[in-house]
Amino acid sequence: MSAAKNVKKQKKNESMMKLTMRRLFRNKTAMLGLTILVVLLLIAILGPLIAPYSDIEQDLMNCYGLPSLQHPFGTDELGRDILSRLIIGSRASLEIGLVSIAGSAVIGIIIGCLAGYFGGTVDNVIMRFMDIFQALPPMVLAIAVCAALGPGVNNCILALIISGVPGFVRMARASVLNIRGMEYLEAATAINCSTARIIAKHILPNALSPLIVQITMGVANSILSASSMSFVGLGVQPPNPEWGAMLSAGRNFIRNYPHMVIFPGVVIMITVLALNMLGDGLRDAMDPKLKD
Amino acid sequence: MSEETKKNKDALLSVRDLEVVYTSSGAVVHAVNGVSFEIEKGKSLGLVGETGAGKTTIAKTILGVLPDPPAKVLKGEIVFEGRDLLKLSEKEMREVRGKKISMIFQDPMTALNPLISVGDQIAEVVSLHENCSNKEAAQKAMQMLEMVGIPADRYEEFPHQFSGGMKQRVVIAIALACNPELLLADEPTTALDVTIQAQVMDMISELQKKLNTSMILITHDLGVVAESCDTVAVIYAGEIVEYADKEELFLNPQHPYTLGLFGSIPSLTDDVDRLKPIPGLPPNPEDLPEGCSFHPRCPHATEACKKGVVSYVEAAPGHFVLCNHCKDCKKA
Amino acid sequence: MANTLIEAKNLKKYFSTPRGMLHAVDDVSFKIEQGTTMGVVGESGCGKSTLGRTMIHLLESTDGKILFKDRDVTKVNKKELIKLREEMQIIFQDPFSSLNPRMSVRETVIEPLLLAKRYSKAEAGQKAEEIMSTVGLDERLWNAYPHELDGGRRQRIGIARAIALDPSFIVCDEPVSALDVSIQAQVLNLLQDLQEQKNLTYMFITHDLSVVRHISQNICVMYLGQLVETSPSKELFKAPLHPYTKALLSAVPSTDIRHKKQRILLQGELVSPVDPKPGCRFAARCNHACERCHEPQKLEEVSPGHFVSCCRVKELN
């Protein structure tokens, strides 16, 4: 129908980027998510300055302390202040969560776009390669990487990136295949667009939206995977704190001292929730079809 | 259309003053705005109009398959064999649907279940509506296949083994399986090629005559209407702007919109240098213009057309035009 | 007669499919004069869209020649191809999938100008605005996104993009099939106006015979990848010679209710030309088929400019 009527007056000539930002800033949920995320990042940066206690100093007189005025989140099995450990641990956890997902998303989407766009042999080779990666349990893969390169946060991130790539390749490829038949790609070829430009300008922006939510969801998984890595001694090395590791350590005491899992759990949940709210908002803001 | 002139005792279906709206996210879309027509037994009526004119909504309302919400019938009645279909319960309606009134949809590709053989799909309709054994239903299905020009030994085949035209034949066989009184054909040949369209349209017309079924043919193609309808209603913005017998409408069109449509179609026989399109765009059904809904695009519009109610005038017996300037347009 | 702008000589385009070799365009030859329109008609799957895309190098031809301005452009290197594409453009059928939903009208029209690297950003902007006015897009819509516009307006954007670089040859692939009649007439008139202003040459692909008669000087009729008849349009509609053309013309529903046409009904349906047998592909549905029809057919000139590929054309007409 004459949707043109909705375009009552001439709109300002603004780029898609600006338009996206403007819409994003008007979305209250997304803004709440962004605020929480900024606060979390600030906490991570300021870490040692705001933590009330040391994160590794043991206080064996105060083991399994329930939340109190001195220790608002209680203490763990070695008497360490859980609040302080969460604050200091946010550095490692956020770094692992965000960097590893960003890494696998970027690599995965690029490879997926190439596979989807070129099709045929290129597609076949890439996808069979990804099949091999997916056939290995991510944990085994990560352990192999850490075993080869040595334990440590950076190698842990690398391992998580590698195990995350195939999923993104698959999704990006499916998303590109949907767009592959569109005539505007042919039109772009007809006006002499280079392949790189077609992918960057015509395919990627249209293929990205379904992936954004997946990206934000992935952060939680990768924080938890990082914890299992530390559990087998490959990620963050004890006694240094890390959210996932705290969660799995507290698991043993869940019956008697539930605060040891509740607080790390809640923090991880808040992080993921904030990322999700931001991701949803971003996806909507990027969709030109939704009205202002 | 005025009640007295249009009331007809022989009518199989008579739709009176039908109004349907869709509500979506606060906006009210006026899809059908006071449509009245009737159709006699064995006759065919063509509903012609452009995308979004409300043609399909009318058909779906008659069949009682409008999604409610968002759609809502505001007023009007649809009298079929003496009963108002809008007042029937869903259970009563189910007996009418498929048995007495059936519908052919535009896209034959999605109208058939890919996992059931075509013969069984026809037999299913038969056994649902007629009190008969499975064997009799299968027999009837074979007869129907033969009737639409498909050899009965293809009974066991699946939809993907059929081409587009053949699938549409199967759809038609399903629609006609219970000898319905009324067939609603919604753009039955739009998805088909010209030569296949000719085959299918000829077959529909032939069967319609043979079985004495009434038909409402919905289309945007005036050519298709010219070849297979008795009466034509031209729809614009949810209203019938012109209603007449086929000969009368094609030889003596009156409404500026109908004239505009004829001016827009390139002829197969006459040479014109430029077509004379209707200027502008169809109105937004969320925001219909006041007065005559065609006035913003009409070359003859006057102040009177922009406000107030436009009513039907009878240009010739049975030829109704919704226009203030009916006589003027003819001269122009 | 004006000079020939583009010519196809024994052009072939095959696709390899799992079921065999698909002969989408098989041995097609025709010429298009500068400033005229060549209509290509046929039913779905007859290879008309493939032919259009092969002509402008969106698809690589399998065999045969394309002569553009008397130069063979079938095999060109990358640099020449870029030059060539500025001269040859395409307008697509579906105004919904032919525009990038994330690019505004202005961005879509300006893109070819920027890619051509001939204009500064400011010049390109100015030229884009000129073009958008030429195709009748209101200024208030220049920064709108495609989904905000109706089919007719979207098709205007597609036309604007195609004429941006002043091409001489445009393939119009069913540009009005997706539009309502009243809008269709507006777009057809626009295409004709542009042709007059810019001396454009069109190859107009459609399945709608009344449209093709209206807009083209010459017409090619295709059936399953083969060219069955080509002729000046008036002559084709007055005296079609090939049995398929006759059946096609008789099948078109006409609004002329005074003269009932005698319809030639065809049996059967289109098949796909995978590994076809030699000979006339229409023979399977033709009412006049005989032994000789299964031998390869030749396109013969029966009257000036009127070519038919049917061995029985003389005895049947």
In this predicted model, what pLDDT tens digit does every residue of B188-241 receive, in sequence order? Answer: 888 778 888 888 888 888 888 888 999 999 998 888 898 889 999 999 999 999
Q: Where are the beta strands (DSSP E) in B117-275?
A: 182-186, 214-219, 231-236, 239-245
Is B290 within 8 Å of chain A by CB? Answer: no
Quick one: which H or E segment has residue C307?
A: strand C306-308
Domain count across chain C: 1
Q: Nearest-CA distance from B285 to chain A in Å?
A: 8
Is B164 within 8 Å of chain A by CB? Answer: no
Of the partner residues A182, A187, A205, the one whose CB lies closest to the CB of residue C161:
A187
Residue-by-residue DSSP string for C219-245:
EEEEETTEEEEEEEHHHHHHS--SHHH
- Tell me which DSSP letter residue B148 carries: T
Q: Nearest-CA distance from B257 to chain C in Å?
A: 10
Compute φ and ψ for A103, nearest 5 degrees. -60, -50
Chains with 3+ CB–CB pairs under 8 A to C are: A, B
Alpha-carbon dihedral angle through residues A199, A205, A206, A211, given to the nearest 10 degrees: 110
Is B285 within 8 Å of chain A by CB? Answer: yes
- If you measure CA to CA, which chain B residue comes closest to A3? B284
pLDDT reading at A55 higher than 60:
yes
For chain C, the average pLDDT equals 89
For tokens 């509903």, the residue is: B47
pLDDT at residue number C124? 93
- If you measure CA to CA, which chain C residue comes closest to B280? C183
Which amino acid, residue A289?
K
Spatial contact of A163 and A142, defined as CB atoms under 8 Å apart: yes
Record the pTM. 0.84
> How far from the centroid of its chain's Cα atoms is residue B249's Cα?
17
Domains of chain B: 3-100+180-331 (3.40.50.300)
Instruction: State the complex-level ipTM.
Output: 0.85
Here the CATH number for the domain that contains residue C183 is: 3.40.50.300
- How many CB atoms neighbour CB B117 within 10 A? 17
Q: Which residue has the higher pLDDT, C263 or A5?
A: C263
Quick: pLDDT tens for B284-329: 888 888 888 898 888 888 888 888 788 888 888 888 999 888 765 5
Q: Strand pairing of C20-33 and C37-41?
A: unpaired
Spatial contact of B242 and B188, defined as CB atoms under 8 Å apart: no
pLDDT at residue number B47? 93
The CA-atom distances, in angstroms, between A161 and each of A29, A108, A241, A282 are 29, 9, 21, 23
pLDDT reading at C295 higher than 70:
yes
Q: Nearest-CA distance from A8 to chain B in Å?
A: 13
| Interface test with chain C among A1, A183, A201, A292, by most C beta carbons within 10 Å | A183
Q: Nearest-CA distance from A182 to chain B in Å?
A: 20
| Interface test with chain B among C236, C255, C282, by most B beta carbons within 10 Å | C255
- Tell me which DSSP letter residue C67 carries: E
Domains of chain A: 35-47+73-286 (1.10.3720.10)
For C274-295, what is the mean pLDDT?
86
Quick: pLDDT tens for C23-54: 999 999 999 999 999 999 988 878 899 999 99
- If you measure CA to CA, which chain A residue comes closest to C162? A191
Domain with C45 in it: 4-316
Which amino acid, residue B91?
K
